[in-house]
Homo-oligomer: A and B are copies of this chain.
Amino acid sequence: MVRIGLDMMGGDFAPLEAVKGAAAYLKNNGSNVHVFMIGDEVLINSHLKNYVFPQGSYTIVPTTEVIEMHEHPTKAFKEKQDSSIAVGFNLLATDKIDAFISAGNTGAMMVGALFSIKVIEGISRPTIGAYIPREDGTLGLLLDVGLNADCKPENLNQFAILGSLFAENILNISNPKVSLVNIGEEEGKGNLLAQAAFPLLKENSQINFIGNIEGRDILINKSDVMVCEGFTGNVVLKLAESVYDIVKRRHINDEHFNRFNFEAYGGVPVLGVSKPVIIGHGISEETAFMNMIDIAFRMKKTDFTGKIKESFSSLLA
């Protein structure tokens, strides 16, 4: 039984969409997953009564505080000890749950991830990626998408390993192709960071590095794991998100562009911390919550963080 903590107070539609997502997921997987619903008990119950759950598939963990979206992450996390986010991390740190999911304050989630459950030894900077829908129906992974705006070459090399492990274990892509987002195809192209990162990636025996890709290659399936610093990654992700908005505004109904609805995917886990933590988009709805629970379940089943530890311990040895 995988025990998944779900912050019911996070996101723009809390707790309704989290309730709906949990109900939809547990309907078919209630025998494998137990959801700990963390939040305002009265509020949660007022929604729960409208949905059907398998017997004993959830537990409510009552909390009295909420970290709002606009609050200062560190300050709020420290001061609101009975907030759903702080309680969630406390349960995770003390092994009461196996994974923690929230669509709430991203900064507070990062504070919790970095300070309550720690970074895996050997990893300098945890990272967050984003799924990139590709024309053949599969998903690629772009990382970092904003957590690390300034990076060193070694950070990119570590993101490559983390992303590769995620693609292999969670996205089920065998021997995933890893690339460096750059402004030219040949080795030696790029800014100073990309130029310095290329040889590290090339020599990295833990990944299947295929070289540089350019902006035009991001939306096709040239590579499964696309590595860049968080500045470029964030601009690219938000640009791609806006393509979906434009497509909808212009009443274009296309199967591929419909998949640019990034919110539907839910969050990508914080890669590099010692336990599964997933941060969702503030406007996550039912499907996003359902997907996040599923990813958390698969991270636990595949002992994903254990695999990361193994990879990085071999580098430390």
Residues in A lying within 8 Å of B, measured CB to CB: 135, 146, 149-150, 181, 183, 190-192, 194, 214-220, 228-232, 234-243, 245-246, 249-250, 252, 254, 256-257
Do the beta carbons of B242 and A240 come within 8 Å of each other? no
Do the beta carbons of A236 and B239 come within 8 Å of each other? yes
Number of copies: 2
Beyond A183-B230, A232-B232, A239-B240, 15 extra complex contacts between A and B, CB < 8 Å:
A135-B246, A149-B183, A183-B231, A215-B235, A215-B237, A215-B241, A217-B242, A218-B239, A218-B242, A219-B239, A220-B242, A232-B235, A250-B257, A252-B252, A252-B257
- Please name all residues of chain B whose beta carbon is closer than 8 Å to the beta carbon of A256 when the two chains form the complex: 246, 250
How far is A238 from B235 in the complex, measured between Cα atoms in Å? 13
Known pairs A215-B242, A216-B238; A183 contacts B150 (CB<8 A):
no
5 contacts between A and B (CB under 8 A): A215-B237, A215-B242, A228-B235, A232-B235, A250-B257
Nearest CB in chain B: distance from A298 CB, A:
29
Do the beta carbons of A216 and B232 come within 8 Å of each other? no
- Please name all residues of chain B whose beta carbon is closer than 8 Å to the beta carbon of A183 when the two chains form the complex: 146, 149, 230-231, 234-235
How far is A254 from B248 in the complex, measured between Cα atoms in Å? 12
